[in-house]
Structure 1
């Protein structure tokens, strides 16, 4: 059975559908055919039984019964008229049976029905005993439907009948015609069922092919995409069934993949462009140092110190850029995995403020922080806040001030620098975008992109807007609560 099931599973889907349809139709046709055969069989037997009961109600005269018993014979004789039993069909069996099983046949009986023990029991009982119907055979082995009941005789007065003790009346009807009809019906049902099953299999195969045609198109499209890597291919969507939903899902998937590829290519192109500047500067400075060593012409100490400082600065910028690229290259799942935990936002801001004060010791950084607990990845959240504070420190004038405030999950960082022009605000969170006025300052243009993605992963939002009296206000809103959950320490 398992082997057959494995072979079935190895068939193509349309073949399996056709076989399942054919099997379902075959089961239904078989059930209907068998039910029909038994219903017809019951009807035919009911007709035969009614004929037997009608014949049994015909009166048998006491004289005829006594004569038959006294001159018992098992060889029927043909007569031209009735013999106390009314007109009888010559195709039926008429006989009486005593308690010993001896059978005496009436004239014009079609033959002798074999006697059973049940017939003897009825003969030995009184006239009030119930008769019964059974299937039997005659002395030639032919099938006969038999009615056995106690023998009663008429006394010559219409409507009066009395028991004839010790004998049972046995009447039989041949089943040859009935069995022939049932056999013909069974053959006809078998032929019709076979035609129905074959037709159902063909219809199932046609339906499977028609129903799976959209799947074939989808398969061809997937194979084409896998072969050519062309993500612009789309499948026409017709209707709103499961196939249409599958096509829409595939189109959405290819659109997402195409967008992801485009972003990846854009990231590579932007990264290459940003890496080219520090690498070119490093190469130029290193070539100057190498040429000085090769030619034996020393570089003045002040210039050499400046060159080494430039190399160090370019390497620092390059390392920061690579770190930012690694942060952006990590998937959202990597950020939103098992490392997400409940974080005290005020403590994270305090840690970021300590780093910001080291980078801008000449600035006045004030903080007003209220408790707020959020669910986020601690390291990523701290880096995002550090990036915001770094921008505030970078663009603040010497001796300026930076105001930091945390109220009900809203963190605002306000600097007093030159601010951001209104037309540049829509681009500040784009990767590698830098204001023309800030391109001379250190940075990779990825800081605010990292901030935006980290805040979005934590379920919040970030925005920048100009301050009324100059400078910029960065606002971060994060969902959370003013107190930690009770189960946390």
Structure 2
């Protein structure tokens, strides 16, 4: 199986490739622009050259071997054979209709193509092409039809005799070897620049990849450390506000939340074990006592045995209540799946009826206004029940419990002994029980369950001492006015 490249090497390769492509493209565009510009200059110089009638006549006379007539032309007597190359480096020749090329002496020449020979016969658009002369020089050739100039009246007989009357074409050519050499040097320079750019881009890409992926490496090391040691206290340093920094902050937030959850679970297990130890010890003691009485042949008195069984039953009920509260408190947060629109006033009304049955001698003054909330039905129902159960538990016989729900705020007030001020901050802690209430039934989880259910629904819960005695529990939940049942 082929091994996949690392992210760093892939990022380096992408950066180097992108820069290399950009440098190569720029070098190629530069080379083609310079080539086209220099070739354009050569082409313009060829277009500028138009041989005079006398020059064309001399070329034709030289081609026919009429040296005497050539020397008789005005302006050329005693000048010797004119060279076809002018000072600008251009050369030219004349192409006849039969395809022959007329130049002077051993001057260099270009073999015409069929298209260029056709220009001498029928005319047409100029032909521009690259060619190689007979001496092996690279040249750029421009061939076009030559239009003879009319012989002026009174011209000498020699001029009339040598006047160009036949259809011909003129080829003008210029060497491009210097241009080719310059372009080769330019290509070498641009190629060197491209190679240097690729190497520089690779080094820069490697540096950028290392710098960009350094936070990712720290995050990877932290994740591997957590997976190896289960140490959720680790944090990674975060700098900046980019996506990597956001990822680092999210990781730190996640590990902090997991660490807090792990600590809560650890504390829950520890507290649960501590709370279960007492009823289990009591159960084992009572059962051992009954077994010992049966094994020794000294059975317990019926009344003592009944009290012992009642105590065992109460211990079982206490354990069942404690285990139920633990399951309720530690259940997975499934609010997203179990959330629904809830008529909260109906849940409170059901909790009030349950409280009436548990406190038959109490007076419950109830005022409930319709209120609809979005949350976990089971959790909100348990919260309402626990708040009212606490009020019933701590109310004196024949006491008054006031229950009011208005605008999403549920207040439950009892007229019991109240809670010492130094104990109020602890009422929502798990397994916390006031020293004055340890003789009463309960697990110390009721208000913790209330707090969790209310928080899951986006609300707030408070417990305070009421003026004139007793306590008042306040549950505020976001929602909308509901429909009256």
Same fold flag (TM > 0.5):
yes
Task: Confirm whether residue 144 of structure 1 aligns to residue 139 of structure 2.
Answer: yes
Q: Higher mean Cα deviation, 83-92 or 246-255?
A: 83-92
The answer to whether the Cα contact below 8 Å between 1:410 and 1:476 also exists between their aligned partners in 2 is yes
- Structure 1 residue 94 corresponds to structure 2 residue 92: yes
- Between 1:129-138 and 1:359-368, the stretch displaced more is 129-138
1:397 aligned partner: 396
Deviation at 1:92, TM superposition (A): 5.1
Q: What is aligned with 1:47?
A: 41
Q: For 1:336-369, what per-residue CA distance to the aligned partner results, in whole angstroms no more than 9, with x for missing partners?
A: 1222111112211121122212211222223222
Equivalent in the alignment of 1:17: 11
Give the secondary-structure state (helix, strand or coil) at the position aligned to 2:142: strand
Cα-to-partner distance string for 1:271-294 (whole Å, 9 max, x where unaligned): 111111111111111111111111
Deviation at 1:467, TM superposition (A): 1.9
Change beyond 3 A, Cα 1:163–1:301: farther
Matched residues, number? 466
CA contact (8 A) 1:131 1:150 kept: yes
Displacement of 1:71: 4.5
* Residue 434 of structure 2 is aligned to residue 435 of structure 1: yes
* Deviations, residues 104-147 of structure 1 (Å, cap 9, x unaligned): 23445312x12223323432346xx6534222333466543101
Task: Work out whether residues 83 and 107 of structure 2, in 8 Å CA contact, stay in contact via their aligned partners in 1.
Answer: no
Which whole-Å CA distance do the structure 1 matches of 2:390 and 2:88 have between them? 120
Where 1:97 maps in the other structure, the secondary structure is strand
Deviation at 1:329, TM superposition (A): 1.0
| Structure 2 SS opposite 1:16 | helix
How has the CA–CA distance of structure 1 residues 459 and 167 changed in structure 2, closer, same or farther, with 3 Å as cutoff?
same
Instruction: Point out where structure 1 has 5 or more consecutive residues left out of the alignment.
Output: 74-79
* Partner residue, 1:201: 202
Is 1:104 the counterpart of 2:99 in the alignment?
no
Question: 1:359 aligns to what?
Answer: 358
Change (3 A) 1:201 1:62: closer
**Equivalent residue for 1:56?**
50
**Equivalent residue for 1:289?**
290
Q: Which residue of 2 aligns with 1:76?
A: none
| Mean Cα deviation higher: 342-351 or 57-66 | 57-66
Residue matched to 1:325: 326
- Other-structure match for 1:307: 308
Partner of 2:158: none
Tell me how far apart the structure 1 counterparts of residues 142 and 66 of structure 2 sit (CA, whole Å). 20
Q: 1:365 to 1:72 in 2, by over 3 A?
A: farther
Alpha-carbon spacing, 1:284–1:57, altered in 2? closer, same or farther (3 Å): farther
Residue aligned with 1:338, SS: helix
> How far apart are the structure 1 equivalents of 2:53 and 2:20?
52
Q: 1:377 to 1:164 in 2, by over 3 A?
A: farther
| Aligned mate of 1:124, from 113, 121, 144 | 121
Per-residue CA deviation, residues 56-83 of structure 1 (Å, 9 max, x unaligned), is: 356644642552464499xxxxxx9565
Q: Does 1:425 align with 2:415?
A: no
Provide the C-alpha distance between the structure 2 equivalents of 1:327 and 1:417, rounded to a whole number of angstroms. 27
CA distance in 2, matches of 1:26, 1:337: 52
Instruction: Please state whether the residue corresponding to 1:379 is helix, strand or coil.
Output: helix
User: If the length of structure 2 is used for normalisation, what is the TM-score?
Assistant: 0.87
CA shift digits 1:148-196 (9 cap, x unpaired): 1222456798xxxx98551110122233333233233323332332232
57-66 vs 455-464, greater mean Cα deviation: 57-66
Q: Which residue of 2 aligns with 1:169?
A: 170
CA distance in 2, matches of 1:262, 1:280: 27
RMSD: 3.0
1:380 alignment counterpart: 379
Residues 57 and 164 in structure 2, CA contact (< 8 A), matched pair in contact too: no
Q: Distance in 1 between matches of 2:35 and 2:436?
A: 102
Q: Equivalent residue of 1:133, what SS?
A: strand
Alignment match, 2:24: 30
| Pair 26,294 (structure 1): closer, same or farther in 2 beyond 3 Å | same
Take 1:341 and 1:214, find their aligned partners in 2: how far apart are those partners? 42
Q: How does 1:214-229 map to 2 (within 5 A)?
A: 214-229=215-230
Deviation, structure 1 residue 392: 0.8
Q: Equivalent residue of 2:480, what SS?
A: coil
Q: Deviations over 1:32-72 (max 9, x none)?
A: 12112112211331232233234435664464255246449
- Whole-Å separation in 2 of the counterparts to 1:26 and 1:298: 99
Counterparts of 1:57 and 1:483, CA distance in 2: 106
Q: Distance in 2 between matches of 1:416 and 1:163?
A: 136
Query: CA deviation digits over 1:298-353, x for unaligned, max 9?
Result: 11111111111111111111011111111111233x1x122211111221112112
User: Shift of the alpha carbon at 1:26?
Assistant: 1.5
Distance 1:72 1:21, change over 3 A: farther
